[in-house]
Structure 1
Amino acid sequence: MTVLGHEEMRAALADGEALTAMVAKALIAVAAGRSSVPARIAAFAEHGLLGAMPGYVPGVGLGAKLIAVFDDPSRPGRSSHQGLVAIFDEHDGRPLAILDAEPLTAARTAASATVALRALARPDARRVLVVGNGAQARAQLELLAGDERWEVAVAGRDQDRAAALAEQYGVAVAPSIEAGARAAEAVLCCTGAQQPVVRAAWLAPGTHVGSVGGSQGPELDAETIAAASLFAEWPGVATSAPPAGAYELQGVDPERVTLIGAVLDGSHPGRRDEREITAYKSTGHASLDLAAAAVVRASLD
């Protein structure tokens, strides 16, 4: 059985196009009802939670993730994601691999947000703001910074760390989250915030918003949710309580939420006009973990 640690996982996930392609395949399978992925469950500790996420996507993989989301004592209001992914043979159930979940989670989440960005942003959109300073923001910048379509800026609640990230990835640093959001045509939120970091009043008509953080609270404000056309990975994002469902979508009519896989396979048009605000809300989904694990295993062959 293969066991891969942090640095080995980072190397195996370095092919961003292979990763986004496999994540798109998994999202299409979810939207088409071809996957078996129960809602995430969690055990709650004093300072965090341990979530369990099993799943099966035909032709992608069979496995389960155990992920601990805990407060980071060194950074109040932030959280860390640590855990492991167990992969099994989808034909006979043999255990095949144990993978470090931290780099896998960051990479597959960034790939999901990137797939949604490509599908939902206006065709003429260029300016993207990445909001965040931690591992998830780094993973998002790694995918976007080398793509010539996008003019990328970064901002965060700690602007000194945002400036360091901008220098590391060769992108711009926005003066603040608000200033960056007002200037952007797409805003990707990658934080551990427990309160909204982006406000509807900052978003110009036609902006695309991605939110992959908010494991312990809402990352987007209620006004953004009310104004936007909503997209997500899986059907239970609005009907399941957190941490399986999204904090932002509790009480939202599930009929308002379109699965992003339906946009990717052409069965839903996605964006309908250039002034529409689109919002992709990700809560994390085992199908994405299986997609990333498939890329890792392919890199080892």
Structure 2
Amino acid sequence: MTGMAKPLCRSAAEITKGDLKVMTISEAEVQRLLDPSDLLEGLAEGFRALARGEVQTPDRPAVTLPGTGFLLSMPAWRAGGPIMVKMVSVFEGNLDLGLPNHLAMINLFDETTGAPLCLMDGTCITGIRTAAAAVLSVRLLARPKAAVATIIGAGVQGREHLRLLPLVRDFDEILVTSLNFDDARKLAAGHPRARAVEDPEAAVRRSDVVCLASHSYAPVIEPSWVKPGTHVTSVGYAPPRGELPAVLAHDHQLYVEDGAAFAAPPVGCGELQGIDPAAAIHLGDALLGRAPLRENDEEITVYKAMGIAMEDLVAAELVYRRALAEGNVPSALF
């Protein structure tokens, strides 16, 4: 029309990307920007969205280095936010080198153009979102008057569980035990209601909540130690057997993040192999009221985590949006 500028018409061969500015967020900044209470609420809504079919979480391909480790790609997206892809490596020998055995980076991409927006550390996000999902299950499934919790494992997951558990229950006591008692003692010293114990059986027998957070290739508790009414969570990954006694998952009501938990490792959980996926309840369905929560005070409930990309998406969005709100601007050129 007369007086209106014509659209710029260039061929694909004439259009180049040039330099794009991408925000970068370090591990220290991720830790500062990610509020644990916000993460718990974000994960609750994330699980509901997942159950409603509003979150894309494609299968995660793995590159396996025999005898050394593996690298997973974990993408996710929901409408109204960026596309997220986490790359996470698991190399057990790293601890001997002074590195975490889980290392990760997260990339965010614009949902309209696919252009890169942000590169942030994913290592601490992997740690806290795993614990936060387990602690969310405690909020949903532990008895309201749960007074004693036990954490088995004093590594990254033990640390994050100890930080998050008081956000969902006012525990009188949190017992910490580990293969190395000195590790448990050091971890418990950082919390006023925590206490390191050397006898895991005695701790579990008096606990209302038991959080398995080890890297054990064999079960770390006996089913007979778990008293009626206890809620048990397990986040450790060490196939083929793992830290959770399979009979606990088989004989009691099992809750999982999604159906991928039943896939073969490294995507799924070794402890759940052979269990009918239809017997498990997805957390999102429970949060939406489509499936039951605890039915009585004598029921033992079990949550087995594998970690899903929706959790990383929720955490990364919280970090990115808070960084934007603080005025952080993209600086690195891509």
Determine if the TM-score, normalized by the shorter chain, exceeds 0.5.
Answer: yes
Among candidates 235, 240, 252, match of residue 275 of structure 2: 252
Partner of 2:189: 167
| Cα separation, 1, equivalents of 2:69 and 2:95 | 15
**Equivalent of 1:268 in 288, 291, 304:** 291
Residue 143 of structure 2 corresponds to residue 101 of structure 1: no
- State whether structure 2 residue 257 is matched by structure 1 residue 222: no
CA distance in 2, matches of 1:205, 1:237: 25
What residue is the counterpart of 2:320 in the other structure? 297
- The verdict on how the C-alpha distance between 1:107 and 1:275 changes in structure 2, with shifts beyond 3 A counting, is same
CA distance in structure 2 between the aligned counterparts of 1:277 and 1:148, rounded to whole angstroms: 18
Structure 1 residue 130 and structure 2 residue 151: aligned?
yes
> 2:53 & 2:131 partners in 1: Cα distance?
23
For 2:55, the equivalent position in structure 1 comes to 35
> Are 2:50 and 1:50 equivalent residues in the alignment?
no
SS at match of 1:72: helix
Give the stretch that moved more between structures: 271-280 or 85-94: 85-94
Q: Name the CA shift for 1:104/1:160 in 2 (closer, same or farther; >3 Å).
A: same
The AA in structure 2 aligned to 1:119 is: L
User: Where does residue 120 of structure 1 map in the other structure?
Assistant: 141
Q: Which has the higher Rg, Structure 1 or Structure 2?
A: 2
Structure 1 residues 147 and 284: alpha-carbon distance in aligned structure 2, compared to 1, 3 A threshold = closer
Which residue of 1 is the match for residue 88 of structure 2? 67
1:212 paired with 2:232, answer: no
Percent sequence identity over aligned pairs: 33
Deviation at 1:74, TM superposition (A): 4.8
Superposition deviation, residue 225 in structure 1: 1.5
Verify: 1:5 aligned to 2:26, yes or no.
Answer: yes
- Whether the aligned pair in 2 keeps the contact of 1:35 and 1:56 (CA below 8 Å) is yes
For residues 16-60 of structure 1, the C-alpha deviation after alignment (integer angstroms, 9 at most, x for no partner) is 110101111111111222211122221111321111111112345
Kept in 2, the 8 Å contact 1:232–1:260? The answer is: yes
State the shift of 1:61 in Å.
4.1
How high is the TM-score relative to the length of structure 1? 0.93
Mapped partners of 1:179, 1:287: distance in 2 = 36
The alpha carbon displacement at 1:138 in A equals: 1.1
- Which one is further off, 64-73 or 143-152? 143-152
Give the secondary structure class of the aligned counterpart of 2:101. strand
Q: Write the deviation string for residues 178-227 of structure 1: whole angstroms up to 9, x where unpaired.
A: 22211111111122222211221110011101111124442201221222
Partner of 1:155: 177
SS in 2 for 1:86: strand
Residue 36 and residue 74 in structure 1: after superposition, are their counterparts in 2 closer, same or farther (change >3 A)? Answer: closer
Distance in structure 2 (CA, Å) of the matches to 1:266 and 1:49 = 37
Equivalence for 1:24: 44
Does the Cα contact within 8 Å between 1:199 and 1:224 map onto a contact in 2? no
Measure, in 2, the Cα distance between the counterparts of 1:145 and 1:193: 25
Separation in 2, partners of 1:83, 1:272: 38
* Aligned AA (1:63): M
Unaligned runs of at least 5 residues, structure 1: none
- Distance in 1 (CA, whole Å) between partners of 2:120 and 2:304 is 26
Aligned to 2:305: 282
How many residue pairs are counted as aligned between the two chains?
298
Structure 2: runs of 5 or more not aligned: 1-21, 326-334
Provide closer, same or farther for how the CA distance between residues 47 and 146 of structure 1 changes in structure 2, counting only shifts above 3 A. Answer: same
Which residue is equivalent to 2:257? 233
Q: Distance in 1 between matches of 2:314 and 2:113?
A: 19
Q: TM-score, normalised by structure 2?
A: 0.84
Give the CA RMSD over aligned residues.
2.0
269 and 61 in structure 1: CA distance in 2 versus 1, 3 angstrom threshold: farther
Q: Does 1:187 align with 2:210?
A: yes
Q: Report the counterpart of residue 88 of structure 1 in structure 2.
A: 109
Letter in 2 for 1:177: P
